[in-house]
Structure 1
């Protein structure tokens, strides 16, 4: 303990030092992004690097730091190593961290507004949408990829990948409000798609927080 003089200052020092390991592990924008991405399920390093827009070597190094703090775990499948969140408490930790930051940091709220620009789109929350599932007056649309939709989606949702939406506008049912969602709380696809629908006089709103926040709040998904 000689290399940690602070351990002699109060008896609980070692306890707090261990807890601080978690704080250190999440004190990185890249690592937080990787944790958000792993909400979708297992992924290899190559897939995470591509989704995060981070070089492969750096992605691997960041995952090792998360693994050292037991926030992620992995398994081998043939020649691939697949990473996943170590447990639901990790998802809850990230959700709490993001929620507190959004509540307390005005700069973050500004950054989110600049990124998503949802102020004029009247996003619907998971709490508001849940009792309305099955309502014939709405249609829930998943604008993620078909592969992501197959992993899990909101009950009753229809898959319309963002790249296909413009060509499928004529198939949007008249007289129904479209609720569009994508993956995480900071995903830009659903706000972008809602604006496209508005431009074609289709009533639409994005789901605040996407499927990630939906699941974090305990709402069900269909495989």
Structure 2
């Protein structure tokens, strides 16, 4: 009897890992870390159909990882708990550290990542206090509105060529995006440096920043 009950217990816990055991669902989680979104917005961001996106979201919901909240005629999905952010961060970290295939795939996805200086979170904090840098958030605008690093300015990557003159030429431009699995900041820095400005990358995004104990604006978690 105890053996059966214990097996059922672990079967229920396995719903969490089963929900994550799909690359499309991991990408959906990565997007929802940045901001709540509708099914349609998530489908557009991932290139999946609305029907497939909805099915994956239901699996994530069954695993207790996301919540769907109805707003009028639409349903907006968000992470169920801040612990989901920590879970995703740890899964990603283990994969990068332990699986050579992940590192090779990351090199292909971010081929420019070794080309730019990297600034740490602690260095960023110190430099911001001294007014030596401009912190640039190059994620889509809706993600910036949902949460961003203090003192960051928003210029989405798609708008950067038309708005490059908004950035000073006498300060270091530190770009960040969704974290180490995101290439937006790399692409932005290529353009920034080509314009004659100095640039560096913050590898971490809002999730890593918050998990390190630093505040984000607004405070959502």
Match of 1:204 among 199, 208, 215: 199
Q: C-alpha separation between the residues in 1 aligned to 2:196 and 2:5?
A: 65
| 1:220 positional shift | 1.3
Q: Does 1:59 align with 2:84?
A: no
Q: Aligned pair 1:123/2:154, yes or no?
A: no
What's the CA shift for 1:190?
0.7
Contact 1:144 1:161 (C-alpha < 8 Å) held by counterparts: yes
Is there any run of 5+ residues in structure 2 with no aligned partner, and where? none
For 1:103, the equivalent position in structure 2 comes to 97
Matched residue SS, 1:133: helix
- Segments of structure 1 that go 5 or more residues without pairing to the other structure are 1-6
Distance 1:53 1:185, change over 3 A: farther
Residues 26-57 of structure 1, C-alpha deviations (whole Å, 9 max, x = no match): 01001111111111232111011111111111
Pick from 27, 31, 36: which aligns with 2:30?
36
- Aligned position for 1:72: 66
Equivalent pair of 1:182/1:189 in contact (CA under 8 Å) = yes
1:140-199: CA deviations, max 9, x gaps? 011123333222221111122222322333332232111011224322111001111122
Secondary structure of the corresponding residue to residue 185 of structure 1: coil
Question: Are 1:124 and 1:205, in contact at CA under 8 Å, matched by a contact in 2?
Answer: yes
Helix, strand or coil at the partner of 1:178: strand
TM-score, normalization by structure 1: 0.88
- Is the 2:35–2:142 Cα contact (8 Å) retained in structure 1? no
Does the 8 A contact of 1:95 with 1:216 survive in 2?
no
SS of match in other structure, 2:129: coil
Runs of 4+ in 1 over 6 A off after TM superposition: 7-11
1:106 and 1:128 map into 2 onto residues whose CA distance is: 29
Structure 1, residues 43-98: CA drift from partner, whole Å, max 9, x if none? Answer: 11101111111111110000111111111111211111111111011111000000
Q: Which is worse superposed, 130-139 or 75-84?
A: 130-139
| Cα separation, 2, equivalents of 1:170 and 1:80 | 38
> Once superposed, what is the RMSD of the aligned Cα atoms?
2.1
C-alpha separation between the residues in 2 aligned to 1:92 and 1:181?
Answer: 19
Distance 2:15 2:73 in 1: 31
The C-alpha deviation readout for 1:98-120, integer Å capped at 9, x for no partner, is: 00111101110111121112112
Is 1:151–2:131 an aligned residue pair? no
**Alignment partner, residue 137 of structure 1:** 132
Cα drift, residue 15 of structure 1: 2.9
Q: 2 CA distance for matches of 1:166 and 1:212?
A: 27
